[in-house]
Structure 1
């Protein structure tokens, strides 16, 4: 997951890849015990006698599956089971503001893949028999995935799943979602490997980036197992100087999506998560299962705000006036931060500057040394994270003096000194308790 604040912090761009679609095969959805060939029960999908194996990949055929041994408990044949294990259904984008509680997530948007005719046929496999098992099925949303388009000439060297979950190249007019992450024109070669030896690890990976993808986005989303260079996990798929065809096809099936949220609330930590979800398991009374929304999964925590400014004409303090017990007073129920839970923000400041706060009498209260983007303490209780990324154009003050004393209600003066050019501006703010 990669996020990018834009429009002076009023918009966030969210990027994620399609690995949940390509890599996802759930062995819990269809267990090994349920998959195979058997010759005892006729009329069900796993019955081997006179089975139609037309078009079936060799590894699933009776003579090859499980070394040719039958599984008398099997209810679906290996190919059907393999398709049913592809139980990805869609994505969701979630957000929450100034709350560490999982209960406060807000659903921003949701997408569900369009089930194919083969999907719908697989969902009801063995129906009408005593061996029907509800593996889950069409959730009747079928809105499609983000950024639907029509495949054009430049898309024909990229790959997608067909209805049998085989990776095949796009054809003109195919429905296509998202944007390509990797460059189809880059092939592994000994000369490429030799050139890469003089590059850093990240720059080596960037050799495979699609030219339309931002470097930072790519480095956050790419998978090292898809980079076929020495020192990268994908090098395991290079033999005798040749990358395997299957590995390259896998790489060229990877795409990414982008979603935007506008009018972000300022001054509070903001949580974003992108999740994927499956069909659920009706047979076991399980609703669609969604991936986690925490820092170890696809979640990001940040403080909305502008990037650093070169001009110092629009620097201000928020909130101004500051009123105790407001939402900007970070103290919450059971919060252990106490008086350190308060804060105000200096906004539209230079990337590197020194902020000084004074009393009306001119006494120095505190000094803040700002050096661009930084990790700000989260004031709300959260098991997910303790810090949030603050952009380079804002800096917080905890309303404590340089001697860690609580300041009195009053009017305060401040100065901002731009370290790059020495320019200084002054202003004032009010504290009310």
Structure 2
């Protein structure tokens, strides 16, 4: 509105304002690009600093045990210095935009006053002293909101840099079922890997041409060196990663053509590193099957040999866990994860080093419980302990992403190969 009023009042003086506005626009746009990069670097360094603080506070005891206090302080100071430098550059660049705009506006006031004065002295124009005063008032109203925005440019750029990092998460594509995905209510548990290969980056394969079949009720042990690809095989079974080539079927249904919800109801995984949520023990176990009754939850805990220590806690099954159950030992946390699998009652079971954190005496009890759990179920056991795998129906030996041997414990020993 002020712009239109100024144009009607004096096209000549408005032309001066347009020239000043164009100069401000191009300078601000160039400066904004520079400050945007500077603020992005600042936020990245701030993220690194926060991560380092969180890790050092959480791992305080480990830092002390390995006498890394000074090293930790030095690394913090180094990261903090980078953050300070990035913040200084960002604030420096952004802080110039507002003053430059004010200077341009003041220069425009001088030109308008000078041009108006010359026009009045020469005469023959519609410009009068009153027009100049009115025009300057209009100009101040015209540039006021722009000045306010440009003076806040550092705040705006910081917000944009922060928002960019948030939107990377917000804009991430969620899992979507295949267009013709089927809902499976039950499965016999027949699993087939047919020439399966996989690469995280689409180029360097970590699994090469894996083929095997697991029939209903079989216990298939997967063994091999650390990093051979054992856990990756099971992540492909649950469709956590997209296949590079080959196919995986569950009762002749391609797992990529089964809805995620139904596939993961039919396949239960006990991971190597247990994770418990901030909730009661009962609620954590019930995650395996949300509609499980209290009696079924307690039965699952007894089957996993977790009932004993749970009842020793102040509130028993209603004990609230926090910070990933830091009050419990690693073995106790793993027992709750196993109890969660018992509660799920899925026809396909994956045990990824599930007993690695349990003492030998407890492992014996859990092994008996697992044997009961595995009955009439297809089970995949990833383990290094001989006691866990020697009675498996079939043992798959994985090395460097390849299936190099398969057979029973006795057959593989007799072959005298890598397994032996």
TM range (shorter): under 0.3
- Structure of larger gyration radius: 2
- In the superposition, the TM-score normalised over structure 1's length comes to 0.19
Higher helix share: 2
Higher strand share: 1
